[in-house]
Amino acid sequence: MQYIMFTYPNCTQCEALKTYMNANSYKVQEYNLIQKDSKMKIREFLDVLKKD
């Protein structure tokens, strides 16, 4: 299974999660939410994401 991870630069929680995923050999496709194409990609998942 491949996971999709949306991240922001300088996010300590994002870095910790990336480190964990790599250490445990998870396949991750990372999208940086500063980039326009990543913002377009996250729109595909808006109906399944829960917001606070």
pTM of the predicted protein model: 0.77
| Residue 12: alpha-carbon gap to chain centroid | 13
CA distance 1 to 3: 7
Check whether 8 has a pLDDT greater than 70. Answer: yes
Check whether 40 has a pLDDT greater than 80. Answer: yes
Identify the pLDDT of residue 52: 63
